Amino acid sequence: MSNFEFEKTKIDGVYIVTPKLFGDERGYFMETYNEEAFKEAGLDYTFVQDNQSSSKKGVLRGLHFQKTYPQAKLVRVLKGEVFDVAVDLREGSETYGEWVGARLSEENHQQLMIPRGFAHGFLVLSDYAEFAYKCDDFYHPEDEGGLPFNDPDVAVEWPEIDCEYVLSEKDRKHLKLSESKITFKEAK
């Protein structure tokens, strides 16, 4: 019996993963990843790098991808809450250019499994958030790419918050999907 629930989203290959919590008066325990359980669910990845970031409310990171070294990611929130988004950029996909989003938080313990061939980003909804993710390929800084968070070709419906979005300078300069025409042939 698996310690995970794997919920399909509207985009093939993207899953909301909910771990089973085991708790008592001391607190709780949960697995955040188990290779056998993920393989049983059809999610056969070999993760090679773990990353973690902290951000304040309103920080919007993304929508990021690597151009020639696409990464599958298993993402989760350790503290706070974010709205997490994956945009399908797989060549020939019926959902090319479409997005799926999920609220991930320290309370719901949910994770988003994003296969290769997607742009990824998140908006911090809480005062502070710590975000962690596993990747199945290494980070290559020279290979970065992205889409604007407000790309009308994608039309992500970001939640309203009571402050301005905080973006990096790099994230303010991405080409729209219709301009970049980015596609990924390899999807894992």
Quote the radius of gyration of the chain (alpha carbons, Å). Answer: 16
170: nearest Cα among 184, 153, 155, 149: 149
* Alpha carbon distance 116, 98 (integer Å): 15
Largest Cα span, the chain: 55
Listed in sequence order, the residues at least 6 apart from 150 whose beta carbon sits closer than 8 Å to its beta carbon are 156
Annotated catalytic residues are 64, 133
For residue 66 the two structure tokens come to 């690597």
Q: How far is CA 64 from CA 71, 81, 178, in A?
A: 10, 19, 16
